Amino acid sequence: MSVRTRYAPSPTGFLHVGGLRTALYNYLFARKEGGQFILRIEDTDQTRKVDGAVDNLLDAFAWIEIPFDEGPHIGGDTGPYIQSERLDLYRAHIKILAESGHAYPCFCSSERLEKMRDSQVAQSIPPMYDRQCRAVTTAESSARIDRGEPHVWRMAIPDSREVTVKDLIRGEVRFDAATIDDQVLLKSDGYPTYHLANVVDDHHMQISHVIRGEEWLPSTPKHILLYEFLGWEAPVFAHLPLLLNPDRSKMSKRSGDVAVEEYRKKGFLPQALINFVALLGWHPQGEREIFSLEDLVHEFSLDRVNKAGAVFDLAKLQWMNSEYIKAESDDNLIEHVRPLVSDLIQTHGSSRVELAILTLRAGAETYLTLSEKIHDLFAPSPIRNPELMAGLCDDKVVLVVGEVGRRLAGVEERDWEDFEKIGNTYKEFASEAGRAYSLKGKSLWMPLRIAMTGREHGPELAKLVGIWGRDRVLGELEKTLKYLKHQVLR
């Protein structure tokens, strides 16, 4: 059997991380099996359609670099790939279902249906259609339709039988037909519901495996019955575990930043997001956690997908993204971060800012946090903290700071533009001054850091002198010396 999977979103907004995981698993399975991966837009609910949503979706997948083999943007042999362009096909299959007695018109008003459901809820009865219109004769139904009476088409669920869903992840799941509602298949506006369109499209697009979220499992017996009623072989089903918030509540589109676009804006790498999402419900063999897309294709299998919900751990994603930032080539990293620090480039020049990018990359969780660190580095130094400065009020320290400043002031301007050279020169001056005054290790380098930056922590000072340049470095050292002299004279 040729493997064909699909991702079939509704055009209602941005790509959700849950949708990304569904698409990714479908892509990985298809590629692993040498099959095809199809994009289909399910826009039958026109009231929820959002302008620009399809373009947003395609843009997200282009950024993620997950390609489709068929879809509305590239065509294919089983299109159209937008459901609103396939309405005649759905109506034709409603006719087939009606003629075989598996679908019937329902003329109930929305007011009657609402009262019916309210009454059922009041009696603690699961809300279901009471099948009133199922008793209407074919002749009467035809006459009412000919008069133009508004109606929908419902699925005629068998009165008593069991429907078994064979699921690759959950095994066999059995449903009593008595608990299945007579689902609306075609709405009064002529558009199909998800259930009819989904089955008809999957059959005509030759979908072999339906891999989707767990929330669709209760609907699957309706779909299996539709396949049976239409005389078609059902595809293989696999229902993925829910995505959960850290408190183990269900993750939804309203649960914080769940749009792929938001993670893109915050500076996450697409490779990191893909890697992280792949592990939300699927566990590879061994302890390995970092996978390229090619690695995932090779390693992925549905039999290693969990049944239990998967917790979306933002801290884990941030860690993983930092690992990708550390591994990224210098040129790629600079290219991605430059737009976020363009203001600094205008003020300080490309070379100094690019050195800052490469110096501060370690530990940066995202491009955005890296840019924030760089802006902080170029910001004016903090007012000297008296508690930190107290540690510098030592004759040896003052002499070393002064000596380093004097020797750096003697370095020619052009040598400050050779960042490696000025860094080595700084370390040489500091080490020589330290030996002259019997200071080494932390007792040397910590006072020098505080003297230059006013802080206890930061990037390597040998890098910082290149990033800041002559005027800033000498200015900071002079500022500290004035502060210390003032303290001594008091």
pLDDT tens for each residue of 456-467: 899 999 999 999
Instruction: Report the alpha-carbon distance of residue 238 to residue 217 in Å, rounded.
Output: 9
pLDDT surpasses 70 at 208? yes
Calculate what percentage of the chain has a pLDDT beyond 90: 84
Instruction: Report the alpha-carbon distance of residue 315 to residue 296 in Å, rounded.
Output: 22
Which spans in 33-74 are helix H?
53-64
Is 316 labeled as catalytic in the residue annotation?
no
pLDDT surpasses 70 at 95? yes
Predicted pLDDT of residue 199 = 98
Predicted pLDDT of residue 490 = 47
Predicted pLDDT of residue 317 = 97
Predicted pLDDT of residue 253 = 60
Choose the catalytic residue: 49, 253, 316, 421: 253
Predicted pLDDT of residue 394 = 81
Write out pLDDT tens, residues 133-184. 999 999 999 999 999 999 999 999 998 899 999 999 999 999 999 999 999 9
DSSP label of 71: B
pLDDT surpasses 70 at 255? no
Q: What residues pair up with 195 in beta bridges, in sequence order?
A: none
Of the pLDDT bands very low, low, confident and very high (cuts 50, 70, 90), residue 115 is very high
Of the pLDDT bands very low, low, confident and very high (cuts 50, 70, 90), residue 112 is very high
User: Are 13 and 259 a contacting pair, CB within 8 Å?
Assistant: yes
Q: What residues pair up with 250 in beta bridges, in sequence order?
A: 244
pTM above 0.85, yes or no: yes
DSSP label of 33: T
Residue 102, helix vs strand vs coil: coil
User: Are 189 and 87 a contacting pair, CB within 8 Å?
Assistant: no
User: Are 207 and 191 a contacting pair, CB within 8 Å?
Assistant: no
pLDDT surpasses 60 at 70? yes
Neighbours of 121 (CB within 10 A): 11
pLDDT surpasses 60 at 489? no
Write out pLDDT tens, residues 15-45. 999 999 999 999 999 999 999 999 999 998 8
Calculate what percentage of the chain has a pLDDT beyond 70: 98
pLDDT surpasses 80 at 370? yes
pLDDT surpasses 50 at 266? yes
Q: Which of 125, 117, 151, 116 has its CA nearest to residue 136?
A: 151
Q: Which two tokens stand for residue 239?
A: 């229902």
User: With b meaning 16 or more CB within 10 Å and e meaning fewer, what string describes 63-99?
Assistant: ebebebbbbbeeebebbebbbbebeeebeebbeebbe
Q: Please give the distance of CA 302 from its chain centroid, rounded to a whole number.
A: 21
Residue 261, helix vs strand vs coil: helix
123: part of which helix (H) or strand (E)? Answer: none
Residue 143, helix vs strand vs coil: helix
